[in-house]
Amino acid sequence: MPALIDPISHINPTHTAAWNRLIDQAARAQQLSIADYFSHDEQRYQNFNFSTSHVQANLSRHFINESILADLLALAEDCELAAAINSLEQGLPVNFTEHRPALHCQLRTSSTQTKEEQLAADCRSKMQRICQQLHSQQWTGFSGQPITDIVSIGIGGSDLGPRMAAEALTPYHNSKVRVHFVTNIDPCDLEHTLAPLKPDNTLFIVISKSWGTLETLTNAKAAKRWLTDRSQQSDISKHFIAISARTDLCEDFGIDEDNILPMWDWVGGRFSLWSAAGLPIALATSYATFEALLAGAHDMDQHFFNTPHRHNLPVILALLEIWYVNFWGCSNVAVLPYDHTLRLLPNHLQQLTMESNGKSVDRQGRPLNYASAPVLWGSAGTIGQHSFHQLLHQGTQLIPVDFIVPLNSHSSNQAQHQHMVANCLAQAQTLMDGQSSEQVKKQLLEAGYSEHDAALLAQHKAMPANRPSSIISVDKLTPETLGALVALYEHKTYAASIIWNINAFDQWGVELGKTASTTIYTALQNACAGLENPATQAACQALTPPNIKPPTP
Ligand SMILES: O=P(O)(O)OC[C@H]1O[C@](O)(CO)[C@@H](O)[C@@H]1O
């Protein structure tokens, strides 16, 4: 094995001068209100507005001022963020624990200068050809009928990104093929998806970079059985496409060489929607739409690589995350898209940010003495308002929120869309301003409550103020703006990882559970033999009492 060589500097952020200044800044900021910042700066809204070609972010509702921002930017400088961004752009092996660069940006450029860019361009030509054949209905199934339904099978990065983007681009869907996604090892996922479909018109796309993922292979085998039960083994060539770095294993599975598209070890799973793994997006919409998605992401790459940090949106968002996680003790962040088609974005961002930065050792393998990635969660507004927003407004935790809102809708019903925008702004305002118990008590007294009851009820109804949020907006949700939005979060994640001195591109933490599930599966079929963990042993016994036959393999 080659030696592990890390191109990134190893700097413990807590040893920097900026870190100590930020501790003092946080102590001071915690005495203030966000409204105080507005009263000291008439231009505050404009001063904390950040613009890129496709995405705008207003960060004025945060506990920041120029002095805090200067110290956060100094932290970035102390941690040599600029050099690390350069290393990513130059294709150095920033994923040093796996001896790999992270070249997802090379998937979304029209340049073909590097070997990898050329490979990506060749792959896109193949994707374009497949789209053309399927959209023109030249690609027919075993009985000569056109393909009408495409089932994408994959998990993690081989599912979440393509599924999210295909959903977000619903207004761009074509009428020729419907794309479905199957991910879970639960057999019901595949079975429910296939129930209304016919093998004659169904094409499967199996996406697995490793071609070793239990869920995907199990579902792919079940899909193959579903097809070949009604057709010939040789018909697989008309009904299966594989996308993988292990083309040899795809061929062993029975998939035609022509129907295999590559993935590469220089693109991490959670960054793969820009690769052939994005084929379901192109098939659900059009190949041109997929190209536009890449172009939007490329614009964000240029912004990240070339913009000074003070105006660099991914860098500023990363610094804000560090500010709240490491200096305010926040352990959660919420992402709330005010657009129904973006409802899967939080799922995608969970993998992107938590699989990347959910680490507890630094790049040198030493335990972190500071927090890394927060828990990210969220769902589409306004739905969450009638559910978990209660905790955002009155719970004991401070949870910074990213509101994401397209200013214009694809719907012609602009009046209804304005409700969406109004609700988004109302949530941000309410989080910032809250409502004091005195205000509430006054209203209650006016409404006829007794002094005692008004005072009591006012405590329950009061809303703490000073809950920070960002408004991240796009003019309209298009392939370009979606691409830019997703790339924004990718670069934010990388920038934060550099400050935290961790490797954002490996994910060793998911491996042990995979091995354990194989052992337990075997034990479930063998009277619980070989299980060492007492709780698992007991659970296994409970799940397979002697009078119940073990599951058939
Ligand atoms: O594409 P593959 O190799 O099936 O992996 C799927 C997913 O599994 C993971 O390796 C985690 O289990 C992810 O990083 C990846 O996106």
8 A C-beta contact, residue 60 and residue 48 = yes
Residue 210 structure tokens:
């490793």
What percentage of the chain carries pLDDT values higher than 70? 98
- Is-cis flag, bond preceding 183, omega within 30? no
- Residue 306 predicted with pLDDT over 90: yes
Q: Which two tokens stand for residue 134?
A: 């399927």
List 10, 40, 311, 514, catalytic entry: 514
DSSP state of 342: G
Residue reference for tokens 């058939």: 552
Res. 549: pLDDT tops 80: no
Residue 302: pLDDT over 80: yes
Mean pLDDT of 453-472: 97
For residue 334, the SS3 value is strand
Using the predicted structure, report yes or no on whether residue 541 has a pLDDT greater than 80: yes
Asked if 194 and 187 touch (Cβ cutoff 8 Å), the reply is no
Total length of the chain: 553
Which token pair is 127?
A: 């994707």
Which residue's CA is the closest to the ligand 1 atom numbered 9?
Answer: 156
Per-residue pLDDT band for 460 (boundaries 50, 70, 90) equals very high
Ligand 1 centre to CA of 483 (Å) is: 21
Establish whether residue 246 lines the binding site of ligand 1, counting it when its CB lies within 6 angstroms of any ligand atom: no
3-class state of residue 463 by DSSP: strand
Query: CA 129 to CA 241: how far, in whole Å?
Result: 13
Task: Among 104, 185, 206, 209, say which to mutate for ligand 1: greatest number of ligand atoms within 8 Å of CB.
Answer: 209
Q: 283: closest CA among 434, 430, 168, 152? A: 152
CA distance 492 to 50: 14
Measure CA of the first residue to CA of the last residue in the chain; give whole Å. 37
Indicate the burial class of 386 (C-beta count within 10 angstroms; 0-12, 13-18, 19 or more). exposed
Between the CA of 156 and the centroid of ligand 1 the distance, in Å, is 5
Q: Is the pLDDT of residue 546 over 80?
A: no
CB atoms within 10 A of CB 117: 18
pLDDT tens-digit map of 325-384: 999 999 999 999 999 999 999 999 999 999 999 999 999 999 999 999 999 999 999 999
Tokens coding 89: 């752009």
pLDDT at 92 over 70: yes
d(CA 546, CA 60): 64
pLDDT band at 111 (very low <50, low <70, confident <90, very high): very high
Most confident of 188-197, 513-522, 528-537: 188-197
Lowest mean pLDDT among 73-77, 178-182, 532-536: 532-536
Residue 550's pLDDT is 54
Q: Is the CB of 269 under 6 A from ligand 1?
A: yes
Residue 514 annotated to the active site: yes
Q: Which residues, including other chains, have CB under 8 Å from residue 252's CB and lie 6 or more apart? A: none
Q: Which DSSP string corresponds to 32-96?
A: S-HHHHHHH-TTHHHHTEEE-SS-EEE-TTSS--HHHHHHHHHHHHHTTHHHHHHHHHHT---BG
Find out whether the beta carbon of 210 lies less than 6 Å from any atom of ligand 1.
yes
Beta strands in 140-271 (DSSP E): 149-153, 178-182, 202-207, 240-244, 260-262
Q: H-type helices in 307-405, by residue range? A: 313-322, 345-350, 356-357, 389-394
Task: Please give the Cα distance from 265 to 210 (Å, whole number).
Answer: 9
pLDDT in tens, 61-71: 999 999 999 99
Active site residue 491: no
**pLDDT value at residue 511:** 87
Confidence band, pLDDT 50/70/90 cuts, at residue 130: very high
CA 157 to chain centre: 9
> Looking at ligand 1, which atom is closest to the CA of residue 272?
16
314 Cβ closer than 6 Å to some ligand 1 atom: no
CA distance 294 to 266: 17
Q: Report residue 302 as tokens.
A: 């240029």
Which residue lies with its CA nearest to atom 4 of ligand 1?
A: 208
**Cα(477)–Cα(165) distance, integer angstroms:** 11
CA distances from 308 to 66, 72, 81, 378, 473 (A): 15, 14, 11, 30, 21
CB 97 within 8 A of CB 316: no
CA atoms within 13 A on the CB side of 447: 12
Look up residue 180 and give its two tokens.
Answer: 């479905």
Q: What is the pLDDT of residue 544?
A: 76
Cβ(331)–Cβ(512) below 8 Å: no
Ligand 1 pocket mutation, candidates 155, 164, 216, 506, criterion most atoms within 8 A of CB:
155
Q: What is the atom index within ligand 1 of the atom nearest the CA of 210?
A: 3
ipTM of the complex: 0.98
**What is the distance between the alpha carbons of residues 353 and 508, in angstroms, rounded to a whole number?**
15
Instruction: For residues 432 and 426, give the distance between their C-alpha atoms in angstroms, rounded to a whole number.
Output: 10
Q: Which residues are registered as beta bridge partners of 435?
A: 463
CA distance 483 to 494: 17
Can you give the pLDDT at residue 552? 58
Q: Helix H segments across 30-65?
A: 34-40, 44-47
b/e for 483-498, b at 16 or more Cβ within 10 A? bbbbbbbbbbbbbbbb
- Residue 365 DSSP code: S
Amino acid residing at 209: K
Q: Which of 116, 355, 480, 490 is catalytic?
A: 355
Angle at 130 between CA 125 and CA 133, to 5 degrees: 125
Residues with Cβ < 8 Å from 467, sequence gap 6 or more? 392, 393, 398, 399, 400, 401, 431, 432, 434
DSSP secondary structure letters along 245-286: S-HHHHHHHT--GGGEEE--TTS-GGGGGGTGGGHHHHHHS-
d(CA 424, CA 382): 8
Strands ordered across the beta sheet of 56-58: 49-51, 56-58, 469-476, 401-408, 332-337, 375-377
Indicate if the pLDDT at residue 551 is higher than 70: no
Structure tokens at 369: 């003495």
Whether residue 208 has its Cβ less than 6 Å from ligand 1: yes
Cα–Cα distance, 40 to 97 (Å, whole number): 47
Residue 17 has pLDDT above 70, yes or no: yes
- 553 pLDDT tier (thresholds 50, 70, 90): low
The single-letter code of the amino acid at 535 is: A
Measured from the Cα of 270, ligand 1's closest atom is: 16
Q: At residue 131, what are phi and psi to the nearest 5 degrees? A: -60, -45
Average pLDDT, the chain: 96
For residues 74 and 25, give the distance between their C-alpha atoms in angstroms, rounded to a whole number. 13
